[in-house]
Amino acid sequence: MPIRTCIGCRERASTAELIRIVAVGDGTTTVLAPDLRGGAPGRGAHLHPVPGCLDQAERRRAFVRALRLEGPVDTDPVRRVVQVGLADRYAHN
């Protein structure tokens, strides 16, 4: 199983424990979308699906750096997936 680093807590974990996040946009607005199947094209960032890691990633602007984006990004779709219950599937901190 491939190992990736969570952009929130910076801990290494298998891809089965992380969700992949990709940037989707039309040039004026960039929205972060969870890639639950792991097959979306383009650059991706990995995150533990827990609110603490998402908060850390937002505070440190890790999505912008990891995905090589400019300006603010909308993390609402990622937050919804994390809060809806994916976090219950994983034990992290």
pTM: 0.84
Over residues 43-70, the mean pLDDT reads 93
- Contacts (Cβ under 8 Å, ≥6 apart) of 60: none
C-alpha closest to that of 25 among 3, 1, 50, 43: 43
User: Which of 3.30.1230.10, 3.40.1050.10, 3.20.20.150, 3.40.720.10 is the CATH number of 3-89?
Assistant: 3.30.1230.10
Instruction: Identify the band that residue 23 occupies on the pLDDT scale cut at 50, 70 and 90.
Output: very high
Residue 50 has pLDDT above 70, yes or no: yes
| Pair 73, 30: CB distance under 8 Å | yes
Give the CB-side neighbour count of residue 35, counting CA atoms within 13 A: 18
Residues forming beta bridges with residue 19, ordered by sequence position: 47
Please answer whether residues 51 and 2 qualify as being in contact, where contact means their C-beta atoms are separated by less than 8 angstroms: no
The rounded mean pLDDT for the chain is 87
pLDDT band, residue 88 (cuts 50/70/90): low
